[in-house]
Each structure stands twice: as structure tokens, then as C-alpha cells.
Amino acid sequence: MAAAIEFDWDDENTKHLAAHKVTPAEFEQMLNNDPLDLDYAAIDDEQRYRSVGPTDGGRLLSAAWMIRNGKVRAITAFPASASDSKAFLERPK
């Protein structure tokens, strides 16, 4: 069995998600529901990722996130754009 993903939440990142009408639970669901990784960059010595995937309710989200101190930290998340949605829906299974 795979280890559970640990998440790093605080007022800063939860408020940022809320501004886009995304809950921390939806962000966690998206990362646990086999998202498509779209991009990767090293910024300020941190590895940042961009992914698109569904919540348990079927809402398709785009998200930017990083690993910090061994935990996943949300940078932002929002409803997936048309191009991100297309990339997810057309990915090889």
C-alpha cells in the first residue's frame, strides 16, 4: 500500500485557494486522484509542479504545488482551463 500524502496547510495557502473557490479537501482529492502532471520548474531552489485532475465530485482543477519539508504545499488551484481540461481528457490511459 502506498504511503499517504502529507499536506502543509496554513492561513496563506488556504486563503489563496479560497480566493479561487477551491477547498483544501478538493486540492487533496485532486492530487490523490491520479492527476496529469503538466509542468515542472525549479524556482528559488524549490521544485514546483503544475497538475490537472479531478476532485471526488468530478470537478476538474489545475493546481501549482511544491514539496516543502517532505510535505505537499499548495501554491494555488483553480477550475481547469480549456487547454488543461483537454490535456487531461486526452491523456493516454
| Residue 60 falls inside a structural domain | yes
Q: How far is Cα 17 from Cα 15, in angstroms, rounded to an integer?
A: 5
Please name the residue ranges forming H helices in the chain. 11-19, 24-32, 82-89
Q: Is residue 59 part of a domain?
A: yes
pLDDT in tens, the chain (93 residues): 456 789 999 999 999 999 999 999 999 999 999 999 999 888 888 889 999 999 999 999 999 999 988 899 999 999 999 999 999 999 887
Domain residues for 52? 7-89
Sign of the CA dihedral running 39, 42, 46, 47: positive
Query: Residue 52: its pLDDT value, please?
Result: 97
Number of domains in the chain: 1
Position 3 scores a pLDDT of 61
Within a domain: residue 1?
Answer: no
Please give the pLDDT value at position 30: 96
The pLDDT assigned to 20 comes to 97
